[in-house]
Structure 1
Amino acid sequence: MQLEAGRANISVRRLADLARALDRSPADLLDDHEDTAPQVIALLGLRGAGKTTIGRRLARRLRLPFIELDRCIEQAADLSLEELFSLHGEEYYRRLERDTLVEVLAERRPMVLATGGGIVAAAETFALLRRSAVTVWLRASPEDHWNRVVGQGDRRPMADHPQAMADLRALLAARQPLYATADFTVDTSGQTIDRVIENVREVVGAAEVPGLKTRPTRREASRWDPRGSHGRRATGRRALQR
């Protein structure tokens, strides 16, 4: 069958049905064929790391699709992230995050994937991602995370929360050991967008990602685009945690 040959573009529902029939998990079936599947370049980091800005332009240069996992989650739930957390809580979000990641990986095609900032804290989901993708942590200083979020025109993380910057520092410090387990780390602080993209291309190229074309397109503007993140945004502390 095509799945055994590593060529199937199987839907998550069919994958789940097959897993049940074999008394295995969908993630196990993906693991069985990870060596033959074109890999995903997964970008990690808190909001403001540059995952959307860098990811979109990197994908354009590599001629790959760009996927934002949180946008896929919103589409699956038909809710914004803020509504999803408010109505169903974080545990539900984490389950949906994992299911959505399984569905994205089941497409079995190379892509650039921007992940949610908290995916590293979901051990099973992050383990699946690390088995199935080349992971790159876009590392930035707390000040750059903060300034980029504000540069997007979103001042809500500061609203009625004077300790927001201290919370951001603490969150980044707590997650840093998890982010550091990524295959590669690329610093974005003090770097132009072009330089960061080239650095990511260099480390990913060294990893010899299967199915990846590394021919660049025309050179792009080197300034950070403060409107890099789009879609419906969370408020308060969660706006910085994504």
Structure 2
Amino acid sequence: MAEITNFRGEARSDEASHVDDLIARVGERVRRARDRKGIPRRVLSEKSGVSPRYLAQLEAGEGNISIGLLQKVAHALDHKIEWLVGEDDPWTSEALRVADLFRTADAGTQRQVLSTLTPEPAAQSRAHRICLVGLRGAGKSTLGRRAGEALGIPFVELNREIEEQAGMPVDEVMAFYGQEGYRRLEAQALSRVIATHDTMILAVAGGIVAEPETYNRLLTHFHTIWVKATPAEHMARVREQGDERPMAGNPEAMDQLKSILTSREALYDKALESLDTSGKTEDESLAEMSALIRERGFL
């Protein structure tokens, strides 16, 4: 077997050298992707669930990271795992350049690009489906249910579809299958909803925007409305629902919520419309949503 010498003067087999090259390549791509997105290592650690120490070793080309953990890092960076491990340099690819231009373009330009690349007319692919996106506490479920009743069309919560498919509550789904398993069930549930409803109002979990393929499928097949509120109102409404978990033993909960809102703002802004429920009653927000749906011809 052929051997080579590394920088320490140690003999290494060709196979071992290939592994070292792969680890170094992955580390470099993780670091560059994080730098390009302006994500501190601490934030990437929180989003991926991989410790800062492990990430530092990975970026230095010293971390023999497992496939499972690498998948989490790729997901947190909004990239596919193949992008991190492939032999071709992604930084010189035309696809990456297009992706970067798309990512930094304003919402109107992004919609024009999607419209040009979509094989069928947007109106046809979206039918009369409406989807409400945004963080928990904005009012998606309440407004979606009331709007569905007022308009005489079905209202569906995607998490309820996931629970029905899995045969257990979402919390248990997360405990049993983890974030990756939940995302797979979420994508499957969305496909079922698209296949079985041409007219409906759908409410989705706030984190669906972090899964590019699923979110793009949603944007393609639904008239989307970003339902939003101030961070303080988001938190207050969740607590009014009887859920104390956001604040329990976590004095930095509000700062974390603001950080999540900031990091997802550009993704939520891909929605066709937005509805700010801050400082408004349910009736006022419902009236605005109904007018928006009517004026934009979503139904």
The TM-score normalised by the length of structure 2 is: 0.58
- Give CA-to-partner distance per residue, 1:178-203, whole Å, 9 cap, x none: 11110001110011111211211222
- Alpha-carbon RMSD: 1.8
Aligned length: 181
**Which piece of structure 1 moves more, 160-169 or 51-60?**
160-169
User: What is the aligned partner in structure 1 of residue 236 from structure 2?
Assistant: 147
Match of 1:88 among 151, 172, 177: 177
CA distance in 1, matches of 2:139, 2:126: 27
4+ runs deviating over 4 angstroms? 31-34
Q: Tell me, what secondary structure is at the counterpart of 1:161? A: coil
Residue 14 of structure 1 is matched in structure 2 by none
Q: Which residue of 2 aligns with 1:104?
A: 193
What secondary structure sits across from 2:246 in the alignment?
helix
- Matching residue within 257, 280, 284 for 1:191: 280
Larger helix proportion of the pair? 2
Residues 122-201 of structure 1: pairs in structure 2 closer than 5 A: 122-201=211-290
The structure 2 residue matched to 1:48, chosen from 110, 115, 137, is 137
**For structure 1, which runs of at least 5 residues remain unmatched after alignment?**
1-30, 213-242
The residue type equivalent to 1:80 in the other structure is: P
Q: Which residue of 2 aligns with 1:121?
A: 210
CA change 1:79–1:45 in 2 (3 A) is same
- Looking at structure 2, the residues matched to 92 and 103 of structure 1 have their Cα atoms a distance apart, in angstroms, of 17
Distance 2:146 2:293 in 1: 15
Q: How much has 1:36 moved relative to structure 2?
A: 6.7
SS where residue 225 of structure 2 aligns?
strand
Is residue 132–residue 202 contact of structure 2 (8 Å, CA) maintained in 1?
Answer: yes
Task: In structure 2, list runs of 5 or more residues that go unmatched.
Answer: 1-118
What CA distance in whole angstroms lies between the structure 2 residues aligned with 1:173 and 1:192?
25
What TM-score do the two structures reach when normalised by structure 1? 0.71
Match of 2:19 in 1: none
Could you tell me how far apart the structure 1 residues matched to 2:126 and 2:224 are? 15
Q: Which of 49, 66, 70 is matched with 2:155 structurally?
A: 66
Name the residue aligned to 2:88: none
- Which amino acid in structure 1 is aligned with residue 149 of structure 2? R
- On the 8 A contact 1:158/1:164 being kept in 2, the answer is yes
SS in 1 for 2:127: coil
Q: 1 CA distance for matches of 2:125 and 2:226?
A: 24
Counterpart mapping for 1:200-211 below 5 A: 200-209=289-298
Q: Secondary structure at the match of 1:202?
A: helix
**Following TM superposition, by how much is the alpha carbon of 1:37 offset from its aligned partner in structure 2, in angstroms?**
6.5
- Please identify the structure whose Cα radius of gyration is greater: 2
Query: How far 1:206 sits from its partner (Å)?
Result: 2.1
Percentage of matched positions with identical amino acids: 41
Letter in 1 for 2:241: Q
Structure-2 separation of matches of 1:37 and 1:44: 15
